[in-house]
Structure 1
């Protein structure tokens, strides 16, 4: 099929370009997000259904009307929210919603706005009434089903598993307690840095067409004689040097310039990325062919990327339908802007200190606010709120083709960009105890938020823009992912008792992990010593900054005994248990126990050969071992007991002169005849807090959907290339189920469903079922279960007291 630019196709496209996407929904509010190609007034109507099963509409419950915001000449966005004065929507019921769109030429039903004569009927419903539906979370925690996942790159490795969410909703569409209740995107909904060349071609052209103007990209040339730079001047596959040298971006510093060869820069490109990720409407029927467009090896790569994009597009209609039928919450990680975004102080200085780098971050954050954050916290976009100011500024900036400098400055301020030093152009910081944090306006949007359910709460953390960079360390030193102020605002304030009993269960969305594979930890420690922090994202994991991790645990457990953390980022899924003890009285050995379970799901679509290797039983050759970490607020006196045949002796251990002191210890190691352990002589030297990490075993895979083949999977299966092709050559071995039943991680594309089990006769547990496509039966779906205990453990300290 031939390439036809959007500018030629736009008049024939439907009114709705992307959406509807169901966003925040609770007993009093429902928010629906839409992207349109014309300005409209959008009316949202929420209906009950007969018998609460979704099959037939009943009476109207609530509604709202809101005009769209003109982000571009042909791009109009709205997140319309229907409010009730008192709780009106209930659990265990299925509700439907309808939309009516009014413009200068008339009124349109939802289906009319979705369809055209050329596209035919667009399916976003599971029922004959053709309206999207949803069910609120149940009061019974045992019936709650939360979906979470991250990292969805259109040309990433493996099949996109996001359409499976649609299959799950469809399977239980009329059962309010069985269908998934909420969906959490935990980061990297788009990739600003790693973009396929053919896709960038489409994104650049679509962005310029939808906005109706071309953004002039600022570059660092002081003589003022450089001609204007537009995105179209930076063709696909040719952006690596610009990204690194003029933008300061670091994704290509790991000797992989191909990671930034098609980096996004313009606002239109970022907007188009979301529209292409969530809807098939703007996609062209074909891309230019590789050989005429590229030569030699690059032509082959172009053709391969086109093939990968086509497999991504094939089931995209299912992704669109799923997003219309489940309340969806989102938060950024680094790739939503660019790889390593705000990783450390050095990144902030090198990127925000360059005009192109700063503009790109601003464009990415503005797009994030409009496409993701608006639906998370619609109350922030009400009149007189920061979001409303941002919408007004975005309209003004776009209406003047990006020349309204006052509007641009307002955008930068409201999305939280730090002011630039007028002399150096570098970003400004301010002190937060022993860290530097990016300065921001007090009226900037807040990216972290809380989702409250009937018996649970979900804290969604912003661990990107509230980092604490060490004052005394190198600019590349790992940061605190939350500064001291952020710990108070995002965690302690949110969990502080309000005069009512706390929820039965607390969950936390942490886009980057608290716990990693040990080999990843060692690789990052080596990279840190070598100064290659951008090679392995050194500083993005909580455990790279032990003081910050201990502060996180202390903040979480100040008012909660058990916590579940949902995370993503690392392109494999797993579960781990963290038992935590704190000793409130320094003179007493008595401890208060707590428990945390980390559930990681990654990636929706970005499998790598490394993750598929550790998925197998080969990983059992080097299994993850339990870890014991101890912490003191004052320097302890530690001894090592060495036991040899016929005798034993004690040796005083050297202790670092720092507070807090955090140290990993080995419990009794060796045999009865030859062993050693760490101990203290006085009770006051017992640790003030400690924690133990244990990996939860992955249970054998179970078939989903009654082992039924899903037709779309066969068509969406990517063509093997590179390392995938080499593995295919050993398919007789690689596809062996025994080999693929590893015990620790799921290394194929996956997403997780989180459930809880607690009965009067059984202890409380949290379950994570990871959905993935097995190589031994690639047209089917299986689930791997991880079961974590939610009971804090009373246990003896790992170090004895020897008097």
Structure 2
């Protein structure tokens, strides 16, 4: 099929370009998000179903309406909310259905959902698991033992491995009519799109679609003030594969540093590109064949790379209908990580100065954040975008800016203010302000909040924004690792929501887009990069592992009011589980541990060779050991005890101002020379102590529906031909024994989280994470690997050594 520009086929497309996507769904509110080709008044109707099993549509429960906002001439977006009467909320354990109608012309009958989904040029679109063809949903249960959550992150269209997100459709298809088995919520924990590291053919399609849907071509700024002698720069002037210099030098982006030009050579820049990236990620409607490599290039290498990326994108598109159906039938919640804008977004103060101080970098960040606000944040917190709110001001400003074709400076200023883009100082650099001991970006007080909390009868989920509220060290280099949450953000995002609910009634989960716990090799690589000034090569400072003071503050904030917490995370392109036990006060007081379990599911689609290696038995050569860490909120008196050939000497360590954090080891050295650290007396014992233990990955097994799935294509390791050695290596790699590692899953995956064994007598359930993935030994099937961790406190803390009384003075 030849390439056809969107402008020539726009009239053939259905009204709905993307969606419906079921967003925030509670007993008192249901929100559905859509992107349309025309302006409409959209009506959402919620129905009960007979016997609560979804099979037969019952009576209308509630109706809601909202008009679209015009992000472009042919791009109209809405998140429509229906709110039941407070005295008649929706009930858990019941499957509800919803329908939509679209009033595009007041003189004509509204279009039905099926009419809006289909045209004669587009085949019927399945968005339901029932004969009535309506999407359905289920509220979380009252019993935590019946709760089922799905989470994942990092979905790069041309990334390695399969796209794991269609597995959600398989899970829903098997359980659609069974309330006790059906998943309740889906969490996208970051990198829903990639603003950097974009496939050349995908950028080709996004630029065409973005300019067409907006109906105008954005002029990208290069200079602080327009220069009439220089022709305007537009996205179409920056073809795929040729944006590295512009992205790095004119926008300041760091994704391509350290010899990675392919990460910026097709970087998204315009509002049209960022906005349509979501439409392409969630819906097959806009997809079309792109030119072959030989139609664009003469260079053999560029032709080969282009055609390889086209093949990968076709495979992504092949199962996109399943993604569309899945996210129409399960409440879906989202939060950004860095790639939703660009790699390293707000990583450290240097990045902020480098990018926000350049007009093109500032515009690209604003475009990415505006697209995020409309495509993701609106559905997370629809009340923040209700009529008369700051969110509605943002939507109206976006509409005004688009109508003016990017010339309305008042609208642009409003967008920057509400999106939290800081003003520039007289030198042209972004403004910072002080928040206790750190610098933070100077957000306007009217800026929207990206963090949020959701609650049900059995659980609460606190979703953190660890990007825009970072604390940058004042007295250190601008590349120093930041606090991922500044002091005021700890109060606003963690303490405040946790104080709003009673701890004993709900299981607390936290969405942390970046991990608290890493593989040791990641810690070592980041520490080496920090020492050598290469902070952008290994995302140094983009997790909680290097800034131990911030991690300590996070644990303290969580455990002030909770004794068991589950953290869902992503980001790192492998999945695992780890358990952290936390004690406060002195060990001799025998205080009961508080427990945090981190469950990581990553990536939906971005498996890499290094993650596939650590998935195998080879990683068992160097398993992750337990770690013990201690800390003081005061200045302790510590001594080092040294033993050399049976002779003992002791040295008083130089006092260090608090907070002081040390890793606690058993006695170090060998039988001849060894040493340890001891506290002078009980007054110098640690104020807190935590232990990290990795949870063992259980053997993979096939779910009942998991074999010979039609949507899965043969994996790359089933190629034939080549030398006998190559064939032997393929056989070895695909061997199940080799692939059954003990700690992580490195193939594309998603996580399903459940709780068991919770009772009034036992308030400490066991949490299970099943990671679903495609095994190399049977690449047309899906398996799941289980991790289970007890939330009950178990063993006591390792005692901290005390200086013998005979040595105290």
TM-score w.r.t. the length of structure 2 is 0.95
Tell me the equivalent position of 2:60.
60
- CA apart distance, 1:455: 1.2
- CA apart distance, 1:730: 1.6
1:243 matched to 2:247? The reply is yes
Aligned length, in residue pairs:
794
Tell me the equivalent position of 1:456.
459
Contact 2:583 2:797 survives alignment (8 Å): no
With 212-221 and 504-513 compared, the bigger mean Cα shift is at 212-221
Give 1:534's match in structure 2, choosing from 536, 547, 559. 536
Using a 3 Å threshold, how does the CA distance of structure 1 residues 216 and 378 change in structure 2: closer, same or farther? same
Q: Deviations over 1:522-570 (max 9, x none)?
A: 0000000000000000000101101000000000001001111000000
Tell me the equivalent position of 2:178.
175
1:472 matched to 2:471? The reply is no
C-alpha distance in 2 between matches for 1:653 and 1:162: 56
Q: Deviations over 1:416-437 (max 9, x none)?
A: 111112x222100100011000
With 44-53 and 632-641 compared, the bigger mean Cα shift is at 632-641
- CA apart distance, 1:287: 1.0
Using a 3 Å threshold, how does the CA distance of structure 1 residues 229 and 615 change in structure 2: closer, same or farther? same
- CA apart distance, 1:50: 0.7
With 133-142 and 762-771 compared, the bigger mean Cα shift is at 762-771
C-alpha distance in 2 between matches for 1:749 and 1:352: 34
- CA apart distance, 1:673: 9.1
- Within 5 A, what are the aligned runs for 1:497-516? 497=500, 500=502, 502-516=504-518
Contact 1:312 1:716 survives alignment (8 Å): no
Tell me the equivalent position of 2:756.
757
Tell me the equivalent position of 2:263.
259
Tell me the equivalent position of 1:734.
733
Tell me the equivalent position of 1:128.
131
- CA apart distance, 1:728: 7.3
C-alpha distance in 1 between matches for 2:22 and 2:500: 31
C-alpha distance in 2 between matches for 1:592 and 1:529: 38
1:385 matched to 2:384? The reply is no
Q: Deviations over 1:77-131 (max 9, x none)?
A: 0000001231521111110000011111541110110001111211000000000
Tell me the equivalent position of 2:346.
342
- Within 5 A, what are the aligned runs for 1:151-550? 151-220=154-223, 224-284=228-288, 286-294=289-297, 295-421=299-425, 423-497=426-500, 500=502, 502-550=504-552
Tell me the equivalent position of 1:714.
713
- CA apart distance, 1:705: 2.9
Give 2:577's match in structure 1, choosing from 566, 571, 575. 575
C-alpha distance in 2 between matches for 1:378 and 1:717: 42
**Aligned-pair Cα RMSD in Å:** 2.0
Tell me the equivalent position of 2:558.
556
Q: Deviations over 1:296-320 (max 9, x none)?
A: 2111100000000000000100000
C-alpha distance in 1 between matches for 2:714 and 2:627: 44
C-alpha distance in 2 between matches for 1:734 and 1:699: 19
Tell me the equivalent position of 1:634.
634
Tell me the equivalent position of 1:88.
89
In structure 2, the gaps of 5 or more residues are none
- Aligned to 1:703, the other structure's residue is in SS state coil
Tell me the equivalent position of 1:667.
666
Contact 1:218 1:229 survives alignment (8 Å): yes
Using a 3 Å threshold, how does the CA distance of structure 1 residues 191 and 768 change in structure 2: closer, same or farther? same
Using a 3 Å threshold, how does the CA distance of structure 1 residues 521 and 747 change in structure 2: closer, same or farther? same
Contact 2:587 2:797 survives alignment (8 Å): no
- Aligned to 2:110, the other structure's residue is in SS state strand
Using a 3 Å threshold, how does the CA distance of structure 1 residues 726 and 88 change in structure 2: closer, same or farther? farther
Tell me the equivalent position of 2:48.
48
Q: Deviations over 1:21-40 (max 9, x none)?
A: 00000111100000000011
In structure 1, the gaps of 5 or more residues are none
Contact 1:158 1:718 survives alignment (8 Å): no
Using a 3 Å threshold, how does the CA distance of structure 1 residues 707 and 85 change in structure 2: closer, same or farther? closer
C-alpha distance in 2 between matches for 1:39 and 1:224: 35
Contact 2:31 2:80 survives alignment (8 Å): yes
With 448-457 and 754-763 compared, the bigger mean Cα shift is at 754-763
- CA apart distance, 1:163: 0.5
- Within 5 A, what are the aligned runs for 1:15-34? 15-34=15-34
- CA apart distance, 1:224: 4.7
Q: Deviations over 1:703-728 (max 9, x none)?
A: 1235421111027979989xxx9987
C-alpha distance in 2 between matches for 1:359 and 1:558: 40
C-alpha distance in 2 between matches for 1:718 and 1:324: 34
Tell me the equivalent position of 2:743.
744
Contact 1:337 1:364 survives alignment (8 Å): yes
- CA apart distance, 1:349: 0.2
Contact 1:194 1:262 survives alignment (8 Å): yes
Contact 1:615 1:744 survives alignment (8 Å): yes
- CA apart distance, 1:601: 0.5
Contact 1:667 1:798 survives alignment (8 Å): no
Q: Deviations over 1:676-711 (max 9, x none)?
A: 543223011110011111111111111123542111
- Aligned to 1:292, the other structure's residue is in SS state helix
Contact 1:641 1:648 survives alignment (8 Å): no
With 653-662 and 360-369 compared, the bigger mean Cα shift is at 653-662
- CA apart distance, 1:441: 1.1
Tell me the equivalent position of 2:678.
679
- Aligned to 1:711, the other structure's residue is in SS state coil
Contact 1:158 1:748 survives alignment (8 Å): yes
Contact 1:514 1:542 survives alignment (8 Å): yes
- CA apart distance, 1:225: 2.1
Contact 2:152 2:604 survives alignment (8 Å): yes
- Aligned to 2:743, the other structure's residue is in SS state coil
C-alpha distance in 2 between matches for 1:221 and 1:559: 48
Contact 1:315 1:716 survives alignment (8 Å): no
Tell me the equivalent position of 1:775.
776
C-alpha distance in 2 between matches for 1:357 and 1:796: 49
Contact 1:158 1:749 survives alignment (8 Å): yes
Contact 1:756 1:767 survives alignment (8 Å): yes
C-alpha distance in 2 between matches for 1:442 and 1:380: 15
Contact 2:714 2:780 survives alignment (8 Å): no
- CA apart distance, 1:764: 2.0
With 290-299 and 516-525 compared, the bigger mean Cα shift is at 290-299
- Aligned to 1:543, the other structure's residue is in SS state coil
Using a 3 Å threshold, how does the CA distance of structure 1 residues 551 and 759 change in structure 2: closer, same or farther? closer
Using a 3 Å threshold, how does the CA distance of structure 1 residues 632 and 706 change in structure 2: closer, same or farther? same
Contact 1:193 1:338 survives alignment (8 Å): yes
C-alpha distance in 1 between matches for 2:344 and 2:386: 32
Contact 2:641 2:651 survives alignment (8 Å): no
C-alpha distance in 2 between matches for 1:649 and 1:497: 54
